Amino acid sequence: MLDKLLTGIDKSLATKLVIFHTFIIALSNYLVSMKFEFLGFPLTYAAFTFPLVVVATDLTVRMVGKTLGRAVVGLSFIPAIAASIWVVLASGAPESVAIRIGVASGLAYLVSTLLDVYVFQWFREKYSSWWIAPTLSSVVTSIIDTYTFFGAAFHNSANEFMAANWQAVATNQLITKILVSLFVILPAYGVLLNYLQNKIEGTD
């Protein structure tokens, strides 16, 4: 299975991307326990970190193709769950809570990020402007990831606040993710894309 995933791809780049994906997912699961209110709306700090995974995936697909994108998602799945469980346990949560959040995170990551690989590629082939594909794929991915994670992690959970309010927190989280993606991550994506393209052209 592992050999099949790695066939024909840059193993060094894949390793770096797997580490990055795993780190961001683990960090997001640590930050999801840190709730705050903005203008009366409940949020968690994880809304500001997960869009980085989408950007990394989209840049990977754009620069080297969806084969590497799929490989990175597949290779990151188990480490992401393990790292998430460890981080949540380290924060003092009970084992059952940590396992549930870790599995929910892994499921949301796998479904949303694999979908992102194909959605991004489809929009990229359909529209020539560089910003359309990452913008639309980011919105689609954020919707799937957010509601999959919060539903799986907190529906009827022992956390009374999250069990009662996970839909509201998820919706606010989604809005924040999209705003962060559009006004912070997307401009950074454009700058990084331009830099990488110029670097590649300079080595030709």
- C-alpha 76/C-alpha 69 separation (Å) is 11
Instruction: Give the per-residue pLDDT at 167.
Output: 92
The arithmetic mean of pLDDT across residues 161-168, rounded, is 88
Q: What is the pLDDT of residue 15?
A: 81
CATH 1.10.10 for domain 2-203: no
Domain boundaries, the chain: 2-203
Report, as an integer, the average pLDDT of 18-46. Answer: 79
Bridge partners (DSSP) listed for residue 41: 38
Q: How far apart are CA 132 and CA 114, in angstroms?
A: 19
Segment 131-144 mean pLDDT: 90
User: Contact, 197 vs 170, CB < 8 A?
Assistant: no
